[in-house]
Structure 1
């Protein structure tokens, strides 16, 4: 088995001059939000394992909100189900309690169970003083999925606890790998190779610089829906289109260092629908479009150790529009980054399909040839 966890530098949308609105953070990644680390376990194999018919191309993506904390930190959060043909564990408590504790992981549809199992084991080991004591605490990490069965032997259930540990223990600050990495390894977006993507935006609220950022696992859309910078790119790049129906999904995780209350984070999560909509998806019936937003502000102890009355700071709802805008922009760019960074996959005698990666140079050329469609900035 070949397991690849490298963060090889691949070109991103802006490297080709593809324009986007807003001002990105230094890394243009979710790790621009302080304390957030991202890790991957990536499995890429070109021949089937014994007794199997398809190659293995899958993995796990891990997002840690307070990665360096010695104790688990409750994180205020909100969730939105734009189209519910998918899974995100812990979602009921996020809706009712307004927070989650632990990492967020993204994998393939048939590996949610083992990924959740591994995350629980990792949390017990990582925070032994909290979970091995006499408090009898439960754990409910967040695990989401999209379906990679066209390029991966998904029914072989090849993700293991070791892969979960690899992603979690390898989580780091700094640049985030994109494309065929982690849970995004076998994903398809708009008929092109999809996968993992990220982007961020810097905004000023009451004179204070803050960050809003996103990670996506893009596995959604049909070729003729794809729009970039207002240009119908999918209709103009029809060559090689397999005509695949909309049977995928997209998971969006939005992070911010702004102090937002749970009801505000729920509203922020909803804006991911506008972000993915900018690239053309209609949210097809078979697509699981599930969005999570969390804030690293307002850290509190675990609730059983916290004071009877909790005090939180929160941004005035009246000035949230720039925050919503930053989220929409981050999600839109993260999807394009996932596609631009992806690598053509499949086409071996063992594969169902060969899925081509989109050509960033061709996209940039199309946008230049349609100047009336897009007036966006390429700064940053």
Structure 2
């Protein structure tokens, strides 16, 4: 998978991978190349910035029909459990999702979960609900944001939920990705989708990634570092105790909870393609849910190979998109994390590959 011929982008311009001719995988994308290509899935962001010290926010992935009376089949996989994925135990036990999935900053996760419960209890059909399992994931954005300020409040959560929409998804330094960092570069929130054929049926699988992990970036199996792209390599890097990556997968394939857990595993496995280190302090999680559990015959266990591949490719592309969409950010204590320059990335990919060590 090589980048196709493409005019060099203007320095500093932000792009998605496909804008640069970087195509990952074989399956076609949905119309927006986003998790919102899955019917009935919406995304909303609230970005919280107070210059210079706060760069945070919340992102909501909202399935239209989800609720405690109408749960959706779901699975979760933990690559490394150094994180605060609220709602994990019940989701694992019952294999069902009762609420939207929200993403935020580590120390704001508990406040976000409380706000999500309040929002849900006011929804039609929840008047008599006495038990609810909010699902909220987090990444540590403390390198660029004053994380102890816990800047995400109830009104931010409600805005992300109420304003969630289909169609194109805002990318990069927005919502829960406002302060995140991934292998040496400014990262953020991003998304991708694929439409694989599974047997004689075609389904859509969409992913959304909150990228915030350590390691050495790989693009099309080439190592890309700040130094290799001509950026000062002496700036701050993500310490292993402040990592994490949250992945949300949605699909309209009729999968049960066990099968969706298999899908979630592939989403976490895909991070290895991008150079993730899965370090001690990195909480690496994926939540996968189905939007149409009763739509046609269930997918047989021997059939979902193309769906697995679609999720692997989608996560790899979403991580790269998050780096390409983000912008250089100066934040807490004057720390600056550079964006990945698209023009220099293409130059690095076009250079001859160094010989492999023997």
Q: Is TM-score (shorter-chain normalized) higher than 0.5? A: yes
Deviates more, 1:30-39 or 1:314-323: 314-323
Residue of structure 2 in register with 1:65 after alignment: 63
Equivalenced residues, count: 338
Q: String of CA shifts for 1:135-170, please: whole Å, max 9, x gaps.
A: x43111210000001111110111110000000001
Contact 1:90–1:100 (CA under 8 A) maintained in structure 2: no
Q: String of CA shifts for 1:247-290, please: whole Å, max 9, x gaps.
A: 31100111110000111111110111221110111211110101
In structure 2, how many angstroms separate the alpha carbons of the residues matched to 1:229 and 1:179?
20
SS state at 1:57 partner: strand
Residue of structure 1 in register with 2:32 after alignment: 27
Mapping for residues 251-266 of structure 1, pairs under 5 Å: 251-266=246-261
Residue of structure 1 in register with 2:298 after alignment: 314
Q: Please report how far the alpha carbon of residue 208 of structure 1 lies from its aligned counterpart in structure 2 after TM superposition.
A: 2.2
Contact 1:187–1:193 (CA under 8 A) maintained in structure 2: yes
In structure 2, how many angstroms separate the alpha carbons of the residues matched to 1:201 and 1:369?
29
In structure 2, how many angstroms separate the alpha carbons of the residues matched to 1:263 and 1:70?
20
Mapping for residues 253-332 of structure 1, pairs under 5 Å: 253-298=248-293, 313-332=297-316
| 1:228 aligns to 2:210 (yes or no) | no
In structure 1, how many angstroms separate the alpha carbons of the residues matched to 2:70 and 2:19?
36
Residue of structure 2 in register with 1:305 after alignment: none
Superposed CA RMSD: 2.2
Deviates more, 1:193-202 or 1:245-254: 245-254
In structure 2, how many angstroms separate the alpha carbons of the residues matched to 1:19 and 1:298?
30
Contact 2:16–2:324 (CA under 8 A) maintained in structure 1: yes
Residue of structure 2 in register with 1:181 after alignment: 174
Residue of structure 2 in register with 1:111 after alignment: 108
Q: Please report how far the alpha carbon of residue 71 of structure 1 lies from its aligned counterpart in structure 2 after TM superposition.
A: 8.5
TM (norm. structure 1) is 0.84
Q: Please report how far the alpha carbon of residue 239 of structure 1 lies from its aligned counterpart in structure 2 after TM superposition.
A: 3.0
Residue of structure 2 in register with 1:13 after alignment: 17
In structure 1, how many angstroms separate the alpha carbons of the residues matched to 2:346 and 2:194?
21
SS state at 1:213 partner: strand
In structure 2, how many angstroms separate the alpha carbons of the residues matched to 1:71 and 1:155?
32
Q: String of CA shifts for 1:77-135, please: whole Å, max 9, x gaps.
A: 111110011011111111110111111000000001110111111111123xx2223xx
In structure 2, how many angstroms separate the alpha carbons of the residues matched to 1:99 and 1:64?
15
2:335 to 330, 347, 353: 353
Q: Please report how far the alpha carbon of residue 72 of structure 1 lies from its aligned counterpart in structure 2 after TM superposition.
A: 5.3
Residue of structure 2 in register with 1:240 after alignment: 232
| 1:213 aligns to 2:206 (yes or no) | yes
Q: 1:243 to 1:46 in 2, by over 3 A?
A: closer
Contact 1:90–1:140 (CA under 8 A) maintained in structure 2: yes
Deviates more, 1:166-175 or 1:196-205: 196-205
Q: Please report how far the alpha carbon of residue 45 of structure 1 lies from its aligned counterpart in structure 2 after TM superposition.
A: 2.3
Residue of structure 2 in register with 1:304 after alignment: none
Q: Please report how far the alpha carbon of residue 312 of structure 1 lies from its aligned counterpart in structure 2 after TM superposition.
A: 8.5
SS state at 1:329 partner: helix
| 1:145 aligns to 2:138 (yes or no) | yes
Contact 2:260–2:288 (CA under 8 A) maintained in structure 1: yes
SS state at 1:277 partner: helix
| 1:132 aligns to 2:127 (yes or no) | yes
Q: 1:208 to 1:337 in 2, by over 3 A?
A: same
Contact 2:254–2:297 (CA under 8 A) maintained in structure 1: yes
SS state at 2:117 partner: helix
Contact 1:227–1:278 (CA under 8 A) maintained in structure 2: yes
SS state at 2:274 partner: coil
Q: String of CA shifts for 1:22-81, please: whole Å, max 9, x gaps.
A: 32111100001000000000012223xxxxxxx1111000001126x7985311011111
Q: 1:85 to 1:178 in 2, by over 3 A?
A: same
Q: 1:323 to 1:370 in 2, by over 3 A?
A: farther
Contact 1:17–1:364 (CA under 8 A) maintained in structure 2: no
Q: Please report how far the alpha carbon of residue 331 of structure 1 lies from its aligned counterpart in structure 2 after TM superposition.
A: 0.5
SS state at 1:199 partner: strand
In structure 2, how many angstroms separate the alpha carbons of the residues matched to 1:355 and 1:345?
6
Q: Please report how far the alpha carbon of residue 238 of structure 1 lies from its aligned counterpart in structure 2 after TM superposition.
A: 6.4
Gaps of 5+ in 2: 1-12
| 1:363 aligns to 2:345 (yes or no) | yes
Q: 1:65 to 1:24 in 2, by over 3 A?
A: same
In structure 1, how many angstroms separate the alpha carbons of the residues matched to 2:14 and 2:170?
8
